[in-house]
Each structure stands twice: as C-alpha cells, then as structure tokens.
Amino acid sequence: MRLTALALSFGLIAAAPAAHAATAQLKGADGKTLGTATLIEAPHGVLLRIEAKGLTPGWHGLHFHEKGDCGAPDFKSAGAHVHTTTAVVHGLLNPDGNDNGDLPNLFAAADGSATAELFSPLVSLNGAGGRPALLDADGSSIVIHASPDDYKTQPIGGAGARVACGVVK
Ligand SMILES: [Cu+2]
C-alpha cells in the first residue's frame, strides 16, 4: 500500500507544469552531491520532496534559508531562514513562531538515506497568497542541519551546523 501511494505521488509531481516547480541539488561541505529536492507550487503552499543519501543516520533539522547561495563551505552564505517580519521567532512548536522557513525534521536511515515529502503552508515559489517567495530576487536555499530542530529554541531550534545545502532553482 505504501509503495502504491508513493507511486501515485510521483505521478502527480511529474504531471505538474514546469513553471510551477523548482529543484535544488543538495551538496555537502565537501561539494559532494547528497541528493535532490523537488518543489511544487501548491494552491496553499509548497510541496517538497527530499531524496538524499550520505547523511548521518538520525533526525536532521531542515529549513528554507533566505539566500540562494551555498558557496561558503559552512553554508552560512545561505543566510537566515526565509521570513517576512524582521523580528523572526523560530519554531513550529513555538507559540510566537513566525518563521516562514521552518520545516519538519528529516530522518536519515541507518544507511544514510532520507526520502520524504513535506508540505509547507508558509511559503510560495513566486509570492502566491502573500507568502514569501522562494524564487525572489536573491533566491533561497534548502539547508539540512547536523542535529534535529527542537521547534522551540532560538534561533534555529538547536539544529547545529549546516551539513547540506541546495539552491532552489
Ligand atoms: Cu536552517
């Protein structure tokens, strides 16, 4: 059943018009390719698929970061999280949270692979619904962190170093 559902969702994504989709090639600090992220503009948010390998097994924080720049080896060039307000409060479980780049954690299996589909109602590809646009002038990136996001503490939920980064294109 699970395989059937996966196959169906693959079909849906493949059928989406290219103008409403984007991808990000995820790379590690050593420049090695770690996988791909596929983004689809949905009526009320963005559907995100992550297919990665070579990660440390366990949970990893995952966010949309505000600049389309993975040039620095520590990926600090990707900036902070995607946001609309200047007083950004991070955390999906934080009552004051307003951080549009927040996403659920990603789990890497014992072999280092991670496959997931996530939906964010907090962003858009091009500004639909007044939500921050991932494809704005300075772009955006998807960043995978070393540790899980606790969804509450500032500024990134204790997620630690940035271990993978991909520019959304
Ligand atoms: Cu992050």
- pLDDT per residue as tens digits for the range 93-106: 999 999 999 999 99
The set of long-range contacts for 125-132, using a CB threshold of 8 Å and a minimum separation of 24, is 125/20, 125/21, 125/22, 125/39, 125/41, 125/46, 126/41, 128/41, 129/44, 131/45, 131/100, 132/82, 132/83, 132/84, 132/100
CA of 128 to the centre of ligand 1 (A): 23
Establish if 37 belongs to a structural domain.
yes
With a CB cutoff of 8 Å and minimum separation 6, the contacts of 159 are 60, 61, 63, 145, 146, 147, 148, 149
- Is residue 7 domain-resident? no
Measure 3 CA to ligand 1 centroid, in angstroms: 30
pTM listed for this prediction = 0.87
> Which of 25, 48, 22 is CA-nearest to residue 102?
48
| Residue bearing tokens 């002038």 | 137
Cα 120 to middle of ligand 1, angstroms: 15
Q: What is the mean pLDDT of residues 2-22?
A: 54
Would you say residue 9 lies in a domain? no
Structural domain total, the chain: 1
Reported in sequence order, the residue ranges of the chain that DSSP labels E, i.e. its strands, are 21-28, 33-42, 45-52, 58-60, 62-65, 106-108, 114-120, 141-145, 162-167
- Ligand 1 center to residue 61 CA distance, Å? 7
Q: What is the mean pLDDT of residues 109-131?
A: 97
- For residue 156, is it within any domain? yes
What's the 142 CA to ligand 1 centre distance in angstroms? Answer: 8
Domain that holds residue 34: 18-167
CA 41 to centroid of ligand 1, rounded, Å: 21
Q: Classify residue 12: in a domain, yes or no.
A: no
> Is the residue at 3 inside a domain?
no
| pLDDT mean across residues, the chain | 91
In a domain, 2, yes or no: no
Q: How far is the centre of ligand 1, averaged over its atoms, from the C-alpha of 106 (Å)?
A: 12
CATH number at 155 reads 2.60.40.200
pLDDT in tens, 42-95: 999 999 999 999 999 999 999 999 999 999 989 999 999 999 988 899 999 999
